[in-house]
Amino acid sequence: MENQRVVLTVKNHVGVVTLNRPEAGNALDLQMAKELMEAAIHCSENDEIRTVVITGAGNKFSVGGDLKSFAKEGEDIGAHLKTVTAYLHQAISYFARMNKPFIGAVNGIAAGAGMSLACACDLVYASDNSKFIMAYNKIGLTPDGSGSYFLPRIVGMKRALELMYTNRMLNAQEANEWGIVNDVVSEAELMNVVMQLAENLAQGPVHAFGATKKLFAHSLQETLESQMAIEATSLSERAISQEGQEGIHAFLEKREADYLKK
């Protein structure tokens, strides 16, 4: 995809989405939001892509919204932000709802919408020099980019409000302890670790991954009995699917399943 602010590359069935404004800390403006949505649609619809990784160019993941570009809109800033968030939120919805695993490789600061975007990932790996801060309330704003949805589900309501009210910054180790990231690795090894995981997952049963993701998301709004009913339906559907049949036969035949075969 020939985009300026968001670059998508594909290798070994892994789509790598790179936020590409390093000179501005990968700050999100209208054009980046639009290009991110286009990349999300491409990743969700392209069968060659089986796992998606998102990271930032340079030494930052994303400092969040581009306040300078927003302020230039003057009295139209409200309408402008509705347009920006329309693209951003559609992008996050595609990334979060697609069957494919969505992995964040957080290099450096993840602030505001950058932290919200990281929270929307299925799995997050962070460099040891990364930092996480919501940053909205300090400048009189409220979160966007799914931050108010995912953050309290990850860390709990009281910790989420603490991060918002106090503008507290978490270092990589603290973010790991709070469950925001899965692991912390050196900056030099971050992409190697993430790409190895992504390529391994790309060989796996992506539709089962997607169904599992949906089960977990639904569990927060279901009763025990209704959730188990959904589990039973999903399990039976997966068992008769091509992936399920391959997985079962491979297990019985004591061989590795080949989920890439047509």
Question: What pLDDT is recorded for position 147?
Answer: 97
- Tell me how far the alpha carbon of residue 25 is from its chain's centroid: 18
In whole angstroms, give the CA distance from residue 259 to residue 241: 11
The pLDDT value recorded for residue 2 is 53
- Residue 89 appears among annotated catalytic residues: yes
Q: 79-90 burial, b if ≥16 CB within 10 A, otherwise e?
A: ebbeebbebbeb
What is the residue range of 32's domain?
Answer: 6-202
Q: Are residues 88 and 194 in the same domain?
A: yes
Which residues, including other chains, have CB under 8 Å from residue 168's CB and lie 6 or more apart? 133, 162
C-alpha span between 86 and 145 (Å, rounded): 10
Catalytic residue at 122? no
Judgement on whether residues 21 and 131 belong to the same structural domain of the protein:
yes
Looking at the domain assignment, is residue 32 inside a domain? yes
Q: What is the DSSP string of 150-182?
A: HHHHHH-HHHHHHHHHH-PPEEHHHHHHTTS-S
> Coil, strand or helix: which one is 107?
coil
- Distance CA(251)–CA(262), nearest Å, equals 19
Tokens representing 150?
A: 């995912």
Based on the domain organization, do 112 and 221 belong to the same domain? Answer: no
Q: Looking at the structure, do residues 46 and 155 belong to the same domain, yes or no?
A: yes
Residue 220 pLDDT: 87
- Residue-by-residue pLDDT tens, the chain, 262 positions: 455 999 999 999 999 999 999 999 999 999 999 999 999 999 999 999 999 999 999 999 999 999 999 999 999 999 999 999 999 999 999 999 999 999 999 999 999 999 999 999 999 999 999 999 999 999 999 999 999 999 999 999 999 999 999 999 999 999 999 999 999 999 999 999 999 999 999 999 999 999 999 999 989 899 999 999 999 999 999 999 999 999 999 999 999 999 998 6
Contact call for residues 29 and 84 (beta carbons, < 8 A): yes
Q: Are residues 32 and 140 in the same domain?
A: yes
Q: Which one from 42, 89, 207, 218 is the annotated catalytic residue?
A: 89
Query: Are 116 and 216 within one domain?
Result: no
- CATH number, position 26: 3.90.226.10
Number of domains in the chain: 2
Q: Please tell me whether residues 14 and 113 are part of one structural domain.
A: yes
Predicted pLDDT of residue 262: 67
**Which one from 29, 66, 122, 144 is the annotated catalytic residue?**
144
Residue 115 resides in a domain: yes
| Alpha-carbon gap, residue 97 to 59, rounded angstroms | 28
Q: What is the pLDDT of residue 261?
A: 80
